[in-house]
Amino acid sequence: MLIKLLSLYPVADAQGPEIDQGTLLRYLAEMVWFPSAAVSPYLSWKPVDDTHAAVTMTYAGVTATGTFTYSPAGDVTRFEALRYYDRPTGPTLEKWVVTVPENGYQTFQGIRIPAHAAITWKLKTGDFPWYQIQITGAAFNKNWHQQHP
């Protein structure tokens, strides 16, 4: 993971198995914004009960698992996983949760996706709300969707 300010000044430069696992979990959580990714050959789905499904992604020797929660209407309302949280003493596995409010969905180009979401680390010291997302527009590659039904 390399992040640069103005594409010039390194702000973050990290690598290793913890970063790799976190990258896969982020991909899994972000599938709600590109639903066609749910059929990727790298994914393995397992129903937990009527409103939960576990998904595991294995790619390039790295594996990550998370659980989606669905509303009775089939909307994703939550994604949760154990993800590495970087600490000065070294990374620790902590609960990482993405929540979508009940009225948080909108339709863009005929595809219904969450327009609002919040990401929270559930730490022993308390919740750490890390990020809030608001989608105001989305453009999808319709040719890709037509070629990959």
- Helices (DSSP H) in 2-148: which residue ranges? 17-30, 142-147
Whole-angstrom Cα distance, residue 29 to residue 80? 8
Whole-angstrom Cα distance, residue 129 to residue 134? 15
Please give the pLDDT value at position 35: 83
Residue whose C-alpha is closest to residue 67's, from 141, 40, 77: 77
Q: What angle do CA 68, 72, 76 make, to 5 degrees?
A: 30
Per-residue pLDDT of the chain (149 residues; tens, 9 = 90+): 556 666 777 665 556 788 889 889 999 999 998 888 899 999 999 999 999 999 999 988 999 999 999 999 999 999 999 999 988 898 999 999 999 998 899 998 888 899 999 999 999 999 999 999 999 988 877 665 455 55
Q: What is the distance, to the nearest Å, from the Cα of residue 97 to the centroid of all Cα atoms in its chain?
A: 9
Contact (Cβ atoms closer than 8 angstroms) between residue 57 and residue 27: yes
Q: Give this prediction's pTM.
A: 0.84
Please give the pLDDT value at position 36: 84
**Domain assignments of the chain as residue spans, ordered by start:** 13-136
Please give the pLDDT value at position 147: 54
Classify 73 as helix, strand or coil. coil
Please give the pLDDT value at position 118: 96
